[in-house]
Structure 1
Amino acid sequence: MQYNESEFLFETEVPLEEIIISRTDLDGNITYANETFCEISGYEEDELLGKPHSIVRHPDMPSIVFSELWEALHNGEQWRGVIKNLRKDKGYYWVEAIVSGVFKDGKLVEYKSIRSPISRDEKFKYQRLYDKMREENGENIRKIIYEKKGK
């Protein structure tokens, strides 16, 4: 998929008092999205329900982060990390995510994710870290270059 670079420059700030909550089935398809998730991601609830949670995966995210997330979940562990998500309008937003299994009568039935805002300094730190991880893993890296035209 090809995007206009400028589409990725618009950040939506997650308000400090807001928490983004979603649940997925065991295959990662969204079964619940709270109002904040819909508002911050730019999607209507019916556009999210039944879709893979990766609908909000930003191309800046290294694939290894999600491999580690799924490995932790498959081992029955909680996963915590920082995620840059893609909005419907191709903007983005940063969150700290806590993802864990939901059990009923001792059986794993779904996953839940609770996401909260992070600081500006953390955003810069993780953008640099994720760029480095993507480069080390041979994944595409997006660079924005400004050129001076004419004299």
Structure 2
Amino acid sequence: MGSATATSRTDRAAVRPSGQERTFGADELIVSKTDTRGIITYANDVFCRVGAYELHEVIGQPHNLIRHPDMPRAVFKLLWDTVASGRELFAYVNNLAADGANYWVLAHVTPSFGAGGKIVGYHSSRRRPATAGVEAIKPLYRELLAEESRAGTGRAAAEAGTALLNRRLAERGVDYDQFVWSLIPDAEA
């Protein structure tokens, strides 16, 4: 897995994108689970291998440990709002490994329910996305990032990106789920 030591918030901030992109097998799934605060409670071996982490380096850490700076805040706001409401979401996500490499995934994130139907955590299964889908999403993500950058940081950036995302979806006459599914080739659906 390499010699990554990114286990604290300070150390994680030091991980910078290297420009190297990696992938994983078409038959592999990256799987992780978190509690309701987004703290990793489970990660499979593919998560660790592709992310260049040892298991002990990710358990107990915030899932944003693998957040790539080129990912729009609006996408994560949509993701968390959706799963917190009890629904699933599919999204193209660019992740950042401990060694600075990036890797694209098609994520399927679902809430996990406990007794009485209460959300007790979240489960994410990620597969290797089709190159065409990644190439189709990149221009939108660049546009969202630029809008978020103009708005500042934090909540203002996420809200600006979300507003732009909603406008782009309305222009296409689709909701977010329809848009994402339009980027997945039939052979992979």
Query: Which TM-score bucket, shorter chain as reference?
Result: 0.7 to 0.9
Is 2:182 the partner of 1:134?
no
Give the match for residue 116 of structure 1.
127
Is contact 2:83-2:111 (8 Å) kept? Answer: yes
Equivalent of 1:107 in 102, 118, 131: 118
Greater RCO (CA < 8 Å, at least 6 residues apart): 1
Higher relative strand content:
1
Structure 1, unpaired ranges of 5+: 141-151
Give the match for residue 104 of structure 2.
94
Shift in Å, 1:125: 1.9
Closer, same or farther: CA 36–2 of 1 in aligned 2, 3 Å: closer
Give the match for residue 9 of structure 2.
none
Closer, same or farther: CA 55–2 of 1 in aligned 2, 3 Å: closer
Amino acid at match of 2:100: K
Distance 1:108 1:75 in 2: 9
Q: For residues 19-40 of structure 1, what are the alpha-carbon distances to aligned partners after superposition, in whole Å with 9 as ceiling and x for unaligned?
A: 0100001100000000000001
Distance 1:77 1:56 in 2: 23
Distance 2:25 2:136 in 1: 20
Secondary structure class of the residue paired with 1:85: strand
Equivalent of 2:37 in 4, 27, 41: 27
Q: Which moved more, 1:122-131 or 1:95-104?
A: 122-131
Structure 2, unpaired ranges of 5+: 1-12, 153-189
Give the match for residue 168 of structure 2.
none
Give the match for residue 149 of structure 1.
none
Give the match for residue 53 of structure 2.
43
Shift in Å, 1:18: 0.3
Give the match for residue 76 of structure 2.
66
Aligned length: 138
